[in-house]
Structure 1
Amino acid sequence: MEKPFEGRSVHYLASDEVSPNEIATVLGEAIGMPNLKWQAIPREQMLQQMLDAGMNKWIANGLVEMQAAQQNGSLYEDYYRNKPALGKVKLADFAKEFALTYHNKSNQS
């Protein structure tokens, strides 16, 4: 990702554009947890939790940087300049399939 993009092109694929709060609400309702919430945690806490779980420090720092870019909007700048036509499968459609898998896994344990 850090190499120049000369001679390369990027093609975005997207079916829906929703916020993290909307994702939590839709998925929570689909699995019977209507009060499910998205909770942002401070960068330092996120980094420490990943390190405590044994994640490589370089990768953990990269993920923290990516989340910061998501929060400040810079991660999406190129996407919005080159926004694709949205596909047909929406979050609500995915939530139905997710709920089936979630409940099947829950019943197996």
Structure 2
Amino acid sequence: MRYNRIPNTVTVYLSQLAGQNLRLAENILKGLLYRTDSPIEPGTILELKLGTISLSGAIQIPVKVIRCEKISESEYDLYMNYTEKDFNKIQEIEDLIRDLS
């Protein structure tokens, strides 16, 4: 599995999706890596919303936290996997990250 770090030039909003039991998207060997200031339990389903100043609107997609790694006293790396098979939306996110990296 390869995790692409979300650039700090992208505005990221994370919100927990309570009561959701979503399966990981199959046949996708990519995930997302995001540095945050608070830990989130592995297994948590989040709605990830990405946006940039030049992007009209935002891209929203549910993700599942696979791992939360403490980097420092106030920083954590979240490893997240996609949870839906909307390949167009996943490709849009991957293209955005690639273009801004």
Question: After TM superposition, is the score higher than 0.5?
Answer: no
Max Rg structure: 1
Could you say which structure has the greater relative contact order, defined with CA pairs below 8 angstroms and 6 or more residues apart?
A: 1
Which structure shows the higher strand fraction?
A: 2
- Given the two structures, how large is their TM-score scaled by the length of structure 2? 0.26
